Structure 1
Amino acid sequence: MTDTVLGHPDLDRPLAFTQEELGWVPWLAPLTEEELSDHHWEALVDRRRAKSPYFLLLARDPQILHARTGTDNDIFYNADAGLPREERELAAAATSRHNGCVFCASVHARFASHYSKRRDDVQRLLDDGVDAPQDERWRAVIDASVALAETPGALTAEHLDALRTAGLDDLAISDVIHAAAFFNWANRLMLSLGEPTAPAPRADRKEDQ
């Protein structure tokens, strides 16, 4: 049933933005793996997503989930020119930090750190916010992403000029816009459907067992 709101009165919620791996719980009942049809499996694209309550919830509308996943994959995994992966992730992390989506910010900050090897700079974004000091190129990417997240009309020619001055060509600028725009929408979806849980104690994490 999707008309029953799920409560989580004893939920251990994260207290701050983090690069730690968070959990997530839905406010509406997701599908179970046993309920998935061939249509649902096709929509999930990656079968490992059947372990995620978020994707199992989105699978209730498989057609939209399939379109969403194709868009997501093309923005972040298409390496044919354009912006390097770490800066696509930076745009998503900055947008998520601005919008207050703790879960999305954790995922994409972690990716930005992994691909850039600049964990301290990424952590500064999480700790001190989108206005925290960054180098010229990252400043331009963050500012453009946050402007677009605020409202599309806030993205101005000045933001585009700053991106070009920082060395981005038109394809790279397009990737900034796509990454920020996608997560401006994705943040609102995730924030309306559930909430994050704090990292499990390290001894309880699967990778440590």
Structure 2
Amino acid sequence: MTETVTRPEIDNRPNAFTQAEIGWTPWLTPLTEDELTDRHWAGLVDASRSKSPYFMLLARDPETLEARTKTDKDIFYNTRAGLPRAERELSATAASRTNGCIFCASVHSRFASHYSKRTEDVQRLLEEGTGAELGSRRWNAVVAASVSLTGTPSSFGADDIAHLREQGLDDLEIADAIHGAAFFNWANRLMLSLGEPTPAA
């Protein structure tokens, strides 16, 4: 028997990129906290993620979720070297803007604004798209690299790396820009295939 997935009726469904908080609803049934075993809790990594329908849906495959979450945390929170947090978030925002993931773009644009204090530049990226002038050649280069890697990963190459180097990024910073974009290129497409944004709760 094939399960039929129906799109829920949602009033005021978000349809524009924003830095405001919005929600997300899955098209498939996530686990409930009562269903979680020790294996599921380990997969969530952070117990607070049990409040997220997205992570509770991914918890159906706890080993993959655990690897995904630890990779995510290392890319964005391990800032002892490499890119500052704001530019890691900028890279993820550019990938999300390219892929059309309104929910992910809202999350990472807020972080990019918070850590950079350049809210107007981040908003310009959301409103005008990835070709917008963001007030610095360095930010423009990070966005351009993210777009190249997101659109057709195999097209990203030596010229993109050289462009980042011209703006002063070192090897670790370039690696961080690539990791942020590559991870969210994948994460956006997963989220877009499993559900849709909703108004904030």
TM range (shorter): over 0.9
Q: Larger deviation: 110-119 or 158-167?
A: 158-167
Q: What displacement does 1:27 show?
A: 0.2
Equivalent residue number for residue 207 of structure 1: none
Contact 1:6/1:26 (<8 A) preserved: no
Q: State the distance in 2 between where 1:116 and 1:6 align.
A: 40
Displacement of 1:176 in angstroms is: 0.5
**Preserved contact between residue 98 and residue 130 of structure 2 (Cα < 8 Å):** yes
Q: In structure 1, give the amino acid aligned to 2:125.
A: L
Q: What residue in structure 2 maps to residue 204 of structure 1? A: none
- The whole-number CA distance in structure 2 between the counterparts of 1:91 and 1:187 is 13
2:137 aligned with 1:136, yes or no? yes
Q: Which residue does the alignment assign to 1:177?
A: 178
Q: What pairs up with 1:1-209 in 2 under 5 angstroms?
A: 3-134=3-134, 135-200=136-201
CA distance in 1, matches of 2:126, 2:199: 16
Contact 2:15 2:102 (C-alpha < 8 Å) held by counterparts: no
Letter in 1 for 2:170: D
Is the CA contact (8 Å cut-off) linking 1:6 and 1:28 kept in structure 2?
no
CA contact (8 A) 1:6 1:29 kept: no
Q: How many residues align?
A: 199
State the distance in 1 between where 2:6 and 2:35 align. 19
Q: State the 4+ residue runs in structure 1 displaced beyond 3 angstroms.
A: none
* CA deviation string 1:60-91 (max 9, x = no partner): 00010001001101111111211100000000
Identity of aligned residues (%): 65
Secondary structure of 1:24's counterpart equals strand
Amino acid at match of 1:39: R
Q: CA deviation at 1:11?
A: 3.9
Equivalent-residue separation in structure 2 for 1:10 and 1:84 (angstroms): 37
User: Unmatched 5+ residue regions in structure 2?
Assistant: none
TM-score by length of 2: 0.95
1 CA distance for matches of 2:103 and 2:146? 18
Q: Which runs of 5+ in 1 are unaligned?
A: 201-209
- The secondary structure found in structure 2 opposite 1:25 is strand
**Alpha carbons of 1:59 and 1:11: their partners in 2 closer, same or farther (altered >3 Å)?**
farther
How far apart are 1:5 and its partner, in Å? 2.2
Tell me which moved more, 22-31 or 11-20. Answer: 11-20
Deviation at 1:108, TM superposition (A): 0.3
SS at match of 2:5: coil
Report the alpha carbon displacement of residue 3 of structure 1 after superposing the two structures with TM: 4.0
